[in-house]
Structure 1
């Protein structure tokens, strides 16, 4: 299958487009590989953390208790702060911290205490139920007031209400009390009592807690007497250990970048979680990250760990929020005591890979578009130049010309198209030169041989007047016949030469072809009464560009040739047929066919294919010089028609055809 150059270039560009597609595919394969590698690395890190956890449990008898891995009702868990805390005496920011409450019943409803911490401070919230709030008016007079007495491992603190929104914070020493300025505490009254909110630096907080509430209803009673409403404790008047992050420093020392380590106890409660899979401000957050900031984990994943010992899963494969999760249970004293779960993401790698992918794709598309524009521009130039050459050759082909006219164009450049133009112009020039030499040779021969031929003719005539016998007279007659034939040949050649020049100079105009054919066929019927001329126009009403006189001469020669070769049926059919893209005039005669290899040369100068048994010249003479059809071709060219001969499909005659392209005729 042959393809045009445009389609070839199009398929080439498609191949070039496969380059970025291949790069995109390769990056996707690489993305799958790093996901697989991340999953395996996550499993290996999990084993490391699991082994370290077991070693700490074995070597540190207090570690399991501190991490709440064993049941210990006396332990106080300090939660990790997850959001901003404004120390203003209001409990609205403390809603997420509902677990691990310390309670004491000093009224109809129990009072509550909660502790949380971050990297710098420990925060406390005490919600007290009290029907009569007593403020401290004068500290120096030893007045009694509602008081909180806390010991967080480094001595007791006294928190006393001075006025709504204000508190007096002091530390007990052997010699008395001293104010503590580094502790911020705020007191706010509520409908059922009051709220105390405080913030203390971690340096002032140890690893145990003792918390006592002094509820005073009569402000005139002296301090610490039996008229107090009550002394209530959150810790049963003893110290309870604090489960804080500082006890897990071995984990905090690990920089968990794009990773999250979670430890649960046997009930699924999260007792430790550190690290973030994705930054909180990340543009893309996975919707199925169920373990972030949860208090308890109990799902199919954790149940599978308890059943199989370990388990791993991947989430969001092929996406920027891909992450891997692996878990493993651990035992204390031979019993399953909790889970270690490690999760890791590839957010930064995926972002970088996505950036590379899009930049590579954009760069490839940009290069492809640049190449496409260059190729299209070059193709456009080539097509324009090729179109010029193609139009010239088509015009020459339609006119059945001997050469292509390059006189009105010039193609510059140093590429194949310009080289083709130069070669065609060179051979066309040689052809024109040869044709000019032939015309000059004919003219010169006609001029140079006229006088010798006249002398020979005169000599033959003089000899004919002599007293010659019958044999000599026959020789004289043969010489005269040859001389006449030679003179006729030169005359016809000169006529053809002059006619060719005159044809090129004649002015053309549009004329109605059908009317001219009807007129000519009528005259042919008078000229050859023994021949039947059938004209088939089929309602074709068209105009062609030329001259009626020249066209009549051309058709005369074609009809004369048809009459000469017509058989006993004595019928010549002239038909005009209009197709979608062409107009064809055919002259068909019944008779002998032309040999297949002679169909292309029958219109050449001095070319005759008559045989003695079918040579019946319509002029009554026996000589034929092959000039009639040659002149017909010259006139057909001038009328922008291509002339050719074909044998009939039934092998019973020959058709001479004139073919006009669509642009060379007009419909009426």
Structure 2
């Protein structure tokens, strides 16, 4: 039964985990529905994809991607306000466009990236050049120095070229070139004030920052850095993104589409992060943050804001206990696709083939599980891109944790209530058992005498049956004990008349026949009759004493005086025994009956003398110990049997093998002594001496 009860919470726990699997499947279907709805809003809108439709291929380094810039860039030649420099591409000898025999491999390279901020395209170039050659102040030539070339097509499709050559660090002035001639030997046409920038010299070379209005740019853009190693010298090498001499050789630039961003942002899918990519998997637009994209379940969890004392108690005390086992969905996981220019994944490849797809992935730090779904965008039955939506499973995990919290709280409440119920039941059972035990102990005293009865219980359970059985047993024992207590007095009463008849008959016979009086048989009959009379006297003595103690009056008296008087008589009565007396020379006043104390001394001294080794002294001492009068009687002789230590003061118990001179002993002497000591509210003990030489009886009476 216990195992079955423990299996119920385990089944609930497994049920919650199984429900999480179904919730994940539901989340996957919901997310597929989301991307399908977004893709439907983008279907058959060729204007959004016209700039990308003519791309035959996308090549890294040649085709550029403008990353969204969050904060404004200050054009000062310093790159510390570019927060996404990890996306910069490095251009080296692999991107050589032109070179002369004087070029030393590795002597020229640069890092470069572009970004979009509002209506401008920003670009920076960090050039590694050992010799920086500036344009002379009065020179009309702009190609006999280090310079930057820019080439792009306009939104109307016109080809434009610009060259930047500066006389020193500072603000830049681009010059528009004639697109029909080469750079060498031409003269500048006119400056272009709409393109702005700054040049700064560094230890490794120089840096250039540019800002180009997006209204000037079409879909093609290329940059090239030309190196000159001496003033007025010929160019040594040109490295760039692509050849800037012809429109057909230009690379492309992909600027995130504000129209698409506006569309997906206006759809209101704030529970997912939405991407729109072209057919080359480059990001056209993005909306949402994966760290806050937990799905529709997150709103359900966050919406349950319970109030009240129990909610505060649960949050403060129970939740820390629960989350020793559970894990909270993290918000600080690593998002490797936070600001990428190109997305990858099997679900995207599947969507670009015309079919919807989904994928599960772990974040690099293994803290979160991300669900991604993709759906193709069709224009005239041709796939032009895909919509990707991403969510974490944090919402489902939060729901799972909430369900487990409720389950744990319910389990804890049931366990507490069950424990409380079992505790109350056990307390009631134990209290009834203790009450029955107390009644049993109170019904019988230490000597086995019945002092009361047990009140039977009216309950119908097993303890009630046991109580009624005990009550009936004590009642029957009481009747039997009463019969035993009265048996001695009845026997004594019933036997005295026959004994008196036998005694008178023997006396008459001895007077009538003197020969019969001297007969051995007559003597034996007389001895047996005397012994029978002594037995009857002893049997009635204990009964009479118990009856007399009930009506005895207490009075104060000097215990030392009583003991002294009795010991004087014992020294005469037991002249053959060495009685040594040591009594305190101070009054020891107690309350009780002096005649009973004398009877107590009769029994104790008689036993000590009887068991004492011949010739050995019997020591009797009386002294005051704190608030007690302590009487000790010690003799040298046989030791007490260990197995009889707790029974010597019981009625009808004796350690004698036989009485001296044939006197009968019924084992009532120490029993009478105990009754007298208890009447005086004292204690009596009997033990062997520590040196094993004899026995000592000790009586303590309150003063």
TM-score by length of 1: 0.50
Please tell me whether the aligned partners of residues 392 and 404 of structure 1 are also in contact (alpha carbons under 8 angstroms). Answer: no
Please tell me whether the aligned partners of residues 644 and 657 of structure 1 are also in contact (alpha carbons under 8 angstroms). Answer: yes
1:563-590 Cα shifts (integer Å, max 9, x gaps): 32122432346689999xx999875432
Figure out how many residues of one structure are paired with residues of the other and give that number.
460
1:296 maps to 339
Q: Distance in 2 between matches of 1:248 and 1:290?
A: 27
Q: Distance in 1 between matches of 2:565 and 2:341?
A: 113
Structure 2 vs 1, CA of residues 233 and 647 (structure 1 numbering), >3 Å: closer, same or farther? closer
1:30: how far off? Answer: 6.6
Superposed counterparts of 1:315-326, under 5 Å: 322-324=368-370
In structure 2, which of residues 52, 59, 74 is the aligned counterpart of residue 65 of structure 1? 52
In structure 2, which of residues 449, 466, 471 is the aligned counterpart of residue 425 of structure 1? 471
1:508: how far off? Answer: 7.7
Which secondary structure state, in structure 2, belongs to the residue aligned with residue 625 of structure 1? Answer: coil
In structure 2, which of residues 289, 294, 319 is the aligned counterpart of residue 277 of structure 1? 294
2:362 maps to 313
1:62: how far off? Answer: 6.0
Which secondary structure state, in structure 2, belongs to the residue aligned with residue 271 of structure 1? Answer: strand
Unaligned runs of 5+ in 1: 1-11, 80-97, 105-150, 152-231, 303-309, 329-337, 660-664
Which secondary structure state, in structure 1, belongs to the residue aligned with residue 519 of structure 2? Answer: helix
Which secondary structure state, in structure 1, belongs to the residue aligned with residue 616 of structure 2? Answer: coil
Which secondary structure state, in structure 1, belongs to the residue aligned with residue 568 of structure 2? Answer: helix
1:357: how far off? Answer: 2.3
1:460: how far off? Answer: 1.1
Q: Distance in 2 between matches of 1:278 and 1:355?
A: 16
Q: Does 1:525 align with 2:525?
A: no
1:592: how far off? Answer: 0.7
1:174-193 Cα shifts (integer Å, max 9, x gaps): xxxxxxxxxxxxxxxxxxxx
2:460 maps to 414
Superposed counterparts of 1:440-589, under 5 Å: 440-469=486-515, 472-504=518-550, 516=559, 518-519=560-561, 521-529=563-571, 530-533=578-581, 550=596, 553-554=599-600, 556-567=602-613, 568-572=615-619, 588-589=634-635
Q: Does 1:630 align with 2:676?
A: no
1:376: how far off? Answer: 3.3
Structure 2 vs 1, CA of residues 368 and 632 (structure 1 numbering), >3 Å: closer, same or farther? farther
2:152 maps to none
Structure 2 vs 1, CA of residues 63 and 327 (structure 1 numbering), >3 Å: closer, same or farther? farther
Superposed counterparts of 1:345-364, under 5 Å: 345-364=392-411
1:359-407 Cα shifts (integer Å, max 9, x gaps): 3333233333333333333344344444444445555676424235226
1:502-533 Cα shifts (integer Å, max 9, x gaps): 33455789x89xx74x4554345323333224
Q: Distance in 2 between matches of 1:423 and 1:642?
A: 35
Please tell me whether the aligned partners of residues 562 and 572 of structure 1 are also in contact (alpha carbons under 8 angstroms). Answer: no
Please tell me whether the aligned partners of residues 323 and 345 of structure 1 are also in contact (alpha carbons under 8 angstroms). Answer: yes
1:139 maps to none
Q: Distance in 2 between matches of 1:233 and 1:324?
A: 35
Structure 2 vs 1, CA of residues 536 and 38 (structure 1 numbering), >3 Å: closer, same or farther? farther
1:195 maps to none
Unaligned runs of 5+ in 2: 69-114, 122-154, 156-212, 221-253, 304-328, 345-358, 375-384, 572-577
Structure 2 vs 1, CA of residues 419 and 651 (structure 1 numbering), >3 Å: closer, same or farther? farther
Please tell me whether the aligned partners of residues 313 and 324 of structure 1 are also in contact (alpha carbons under 8 angstroms). Answer: yes
Q: Distance in 1 between matches of 2:395 and 2:630?
A: 76
Q: Distance in 2 between matches of 1:326 and 1:424?
A: 78
Could you say what the CA RMSD is over the residues aligned between the two structures, in angstroms? Answer: 6.5
Please tell me whether the aligned partners of residues 566 and 601 of structure 2 are also in contact (alpha carbons under 8 angstroms). Answer: no
Q: Distance in 1 between matches of 2:606 and 2:635?
A: 11
Which secondary structure state, in structure 1, belongs to the residue aligned with residue 695 of structure 2? Answer: strand
